[in-house]
């Protein structure tokens, strides 16, 4: 049988990995797919570099649109990235009747609704396993493996850069700026790390998982996003003393009033497996009503781990090429007419527990004043850590863990507490999830 002909748009780090792994494991992949899969043409602006990589085994061009127009091409792999030209090329490939495989989480999270509609109308597939958590097959797990479940929540460490930084801050007691420079030196962080450290990359990924888990449209613009740039090493140490680790989590939950969709630093009990995911590794925890808790762990980025997911999508598309479009797994797991526009809850309406650090005068009555204010807003204390003031100091740190409460209640209490003359500076608030 004639091999499937693939057009590869972009042969950078991931594209090079796709080419290498596909060549190296061609026999094994063909045994699984039922026919060969061959990269017919590579499109890259750096033609000379691309030619060095493919060594004459594929045609190389500079014009991506020439690949899309080529009638020989069955599947287009988009590895350019970003929202701009990548979106145009994906839509043009769909219009040309080509199936698409992409690792572009930003594109899917922001423009997925438009792209999936176009693909559905044209009867072609858009596969995007590599868009979330690199080599971890979390999209397939959510779309297929857990299809019998009502998924209740997902919590994921889905950005390796921030997890590396937080691990180093905890292990070495260093501040954020120092560790970021080290992460850049080692290649874990980009020269411009904004998407990673501000939580945007993680928000793209949790948006995609939320849509698949709950059968809702992509709603990235409604996600609450906080990064790790304001996180202080002292809070990491206090969290450890209380039996918790701080991780940047992407969280989505289905509640009776709507869907929570948020990214922020989070305290997790140290005894949870996900709290012990260190370095640049990723992990996603999913809770379904039938299966309970499942955990997916592995490399979330890198040339060959991401290539593994891209090629898995190529195999899936190859297997389904001759199937009736109506009988394929829907892009968002639910049939298009069964996708519900469930509201995304504003952050003030979410319910969780909190870590609170206050700088207070070291004198009698301060704790009573603070607990009275918290109680008046329906916030109860679960644990308390009060540090002795250093010699010669008149102020000390007061650390509290609360029981679950609505965020708006917590914010109102903090505003009132900060008006006390015995409280100095800004309160530090970090959300806490037990993930049980």
CATH 3.30.360.10 segments of the chain: 138-299
Sole residue written with tokens 């999209």: 139
Residue 392's pLDDT band (cuts 50, 70, 90): confident
CB of 39 closer than 8 Å to CB of 15: no
Could you tell me the end-to-end alpha-carbon distance of the chain, in angstroms, rounded to an integer?
Answer: 50
pLDDT value of residue 321: 86
Q: Where are the beta strands (DSSP E) in 109-167?
A: 126-127, 151-157
pLDDT value of residue 327: 82
- Average pLDDT for residues 18-22, to the nearest whole number? 97
Residue 161's pLDDT band (cuts 50, 70, 90): very high
- Average pLDDT for residues 256-277, to the nearest whole number? 97
Averaged pLDDT score across all residues of the chain: 96
CB of 206 closer than 8 Å to CB of 154: yes
Beta bridge partners of 43: 9, 61
Q: Where are the beta strands (DSSP E) in 256-302?
A: 258-269, 281-288, 292-299
What is the Cα 399 distance to its own chain's centre?
29
Rg of the chain in Å (alpha carbons): 24
Enter the pTM of the model.
0.96
Q: Where are the beta strands (DSSP E) in 37-162?
A: 37-43, 59-61, 75-78, 99-102, 126-127, 151-157
- Average pLDDT for residues 150-156, to the nearest whole number? 98
Res. 404: pLDDT tops 90: yes
DSSP summary character for residue 145? I
Q: Which two tokens stand for residue 62?
A: 């500079």
Condensed to tens digits (0 to 9), the pLDDT of residues 180-224 reads 999 999 888 999 999 999 999 999 999 999 999 999 999 999 999
pLDDT value of residue 135: 92
Whole-angstrom distance, CA of residue 220 vs CA of residue 261: 9
Residue 286's pLDDT band (cuts 50, 70, 90): very high
Res. 394: pLDDT tops 90: no
Share of the chain above pLDDT 70, in %: 100
Q: Which two tokens stand for residue 122?
A: 């044209």
Whole-angstrom distance, CA of residue 366 vs CA of residue 358: 11
CA distances in angstroms from 133 to 130, 150, 201, listed in the order given: 7, 22, 11
Q: Which CATH class is domain 350-432?
A: alpha beta
CATH fold of 4-135+303-338 reads: Rossmann fold (3.40.50)
Q: Which two tokens stand for residue 105?
A: 């989480």
CB of 4 closer than 8 Å to CB of 38: yes
pLDDT value of residue 387: 83
CATH 3.30.70.260 segments of the chain: 350-432
The full length of the chain comes to 436
Res. 436: pLDDT tops 90: no
Res. 236: pLDDT tops 80: yes
Q: Name 316's Cβ contacts closer than 8 Å, sequence gap at least 6.
A: 127
Whole-angstrom distance, CA of residue 144 vs CA of residue 333: 7
**Check: CATH 3.30.360.10 for 138-299?**
yes
CB of 357 closer than 8 Å to CB of 434: no
CATH 3.40.50.720 segments of the chain: 4-135+303-338
Whole-angstrom distance, CA of residue 183 vs CA of residue 108: 27
Condensed to tens digits (0 to 9), the pLDDT of residues 331-390 reads 998 999 899 999 999 999 999 999 999 999 999 899 999 999 999 999 999 999 988 878
Res. 93: pLDDT tops 90: yes
Q: Which two tokens stand for residue 215?
A: 């059968």
- Dihedral angle of Cα 260, 220, 97, 309, to the nearest 10 degrees: -70
Instruction: Point out the residues that are catalytic.
Output: 205
């Amino acid at each position: 049988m004639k091999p499937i002909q693939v057009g590869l748009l972009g042969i950078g780090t991931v594209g090079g990995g796709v080419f290498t792994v596909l060549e190296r494991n061609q026999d094994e992949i063909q045994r699984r797919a039922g026919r060969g899969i061959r990269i017919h043409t590579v499109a890259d602006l750096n033609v000379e570099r691309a030619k060095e990589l493919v060594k004459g085994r594929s045609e190389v061009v500079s014009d991506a649109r020439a690949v899309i127009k080529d009638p020989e091409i069955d599947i287009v792999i988009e590895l350019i990235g970003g929202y701009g030209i990548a979106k145009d090329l994906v839509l043009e490939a769909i219009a040309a009747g080509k199936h698409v495989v992409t690792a572009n989480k930003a594109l899917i999270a922001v423009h997925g609704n438009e792209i999936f509609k176009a693909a559905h109308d044209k009867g072609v597939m858009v596969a995007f396993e590599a868009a979330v958590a690199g080599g971890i097959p979390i999209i397939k797990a959510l779309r297929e493996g857990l299809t019998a479940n009502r998924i209740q929540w997902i919590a994921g460490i889905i950005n390796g850069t921030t997890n590396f930084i937080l691990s180093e801050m905890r292990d070495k007691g260093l501040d954020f700026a120092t560790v970021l420079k080290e992460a850049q030196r080692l290649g874990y962080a980009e020269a411009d790390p904004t998407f990673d450290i501000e939580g945007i990359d993680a928000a793209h990924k949790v948006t995609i998982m939320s849509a698949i888990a709950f059968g809702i449209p992509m709603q990235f613009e409604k996600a609450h996003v906080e990064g790790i740039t304001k996180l202080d090493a002292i809070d990491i140490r206090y969290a450890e003393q209380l039996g918790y680790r701080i991780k940047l989590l992407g969280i989505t939950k289905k509640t009776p009033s709507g869907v929570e969709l948020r990214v922020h630093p989070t305290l997790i009990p140290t005894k949870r497996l996900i709290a012990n995911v260190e370095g640049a590794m990723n992990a996603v925890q999913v809770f379904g009503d039938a299966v309970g808790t499942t955990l997916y762990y592995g490399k979330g980025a890198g040339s060959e781990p991401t290539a593994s997911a891209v090629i898995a999508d190529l195999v899936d598309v190859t297997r389904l090429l001759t199937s009736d479009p109506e009988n394929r797994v829907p892009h968002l797991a639910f049939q298009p007419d069964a996708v519900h526009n469930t509201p995304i809850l504003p952050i003030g309406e979410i319910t969780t527990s909190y870590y609170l650090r206050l700088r207070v005068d070291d004198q009698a009555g301060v704790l009573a004043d603070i607990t009275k204010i918290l109680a008046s807003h329906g916030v109860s204390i679960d644990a308390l850590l009060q540090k002795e003031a250093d010699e010669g100091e008149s102020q000390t740190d007061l650390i509290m863990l609360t029981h679950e409460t609505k965020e708006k209640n917590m914010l109102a209490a903090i505003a009132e507490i900060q008006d006390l003359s015995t409280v100095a500076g800004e309160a530090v608030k970090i959300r806490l999830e037990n993930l049980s």
